[in-house]
Amino acid sequence: MLLIVFITALVFGCGRVRTSKREQQAKTEPEPHLNIIPTIRNVTRDGIQKMCMSEDLAVGDKISLKTGDNVPCDCLVFYAQGGELSVSEFNVSGDTQNVLKKFVGISQSVNVSEETVLFSQSVITNGNAFAFVLAVGDGSSLAIKAQT
């Protein structure tokens, strides 16, 4: 009888040590679902269309955006399908209302304003658009805001 009690205590004790090790690992290792998946973009650079990682975008690149996309950088909308593009700027400004963006078209003079610029980390909530990259990385409005 004493042997059974001893073996039971040993088995439960080892199980608790294994659980404790797993709990410790969970505290130090990131959850797999928290890893950010790199986004590949369809980009036109120097007149050549290619696939490019979001972090490799450069000022002047032309990118396409669609409903559900996270805006990877500050960019100027030059075309919106159907003339409308709705964007959530919650990640940028905290505003919960979607913002309707205007597009500038391609012309000699371009009016760059909050109405025509998509800010890094915004989310396209409705519409498809083409935009020129204005600022990336530390030059983006979000990075500049963070530095002040």
**What is the structure's pLDDT at 43?**
92
Give the pLDDT confidence score for residue 5 in this predicted structure.
40
Residue 19 has what pLDDT?
A: 44
Query: In sequence order, which residues have a C-beta less than 8 Å from that of residue 88 and are 6 or more positions away?
Result: 98, 99, 122, 123, 125
For residue range 88-120, list pLDDT tens digits in order.
Answer: 999 888 888 999 998 877 665 666 778 889 999
Give the C-alpha separation, 28 to 25, whole Å.
5
Which pLDDT value is given to residue 110?
67
Average pLDDT score over residue span 46-63: 92
The overall pTM is greater than 0.85: no
Instruction: Reply yes or no on whether the pLDDT at 34 is more than 70.
Output: no
Model confidence at 32: pLDDT above 60: no
What percent of the chain lies above the pLDDT cut of 90? 40
The predicted-structure confidence for 22-31, as pLDDT tens digits, reads as follows 455 444 444 4
Residue type, 91: N
Q: What is the DSSP string of 66-82?
A: -TTPBP-SEEEEEEEGG
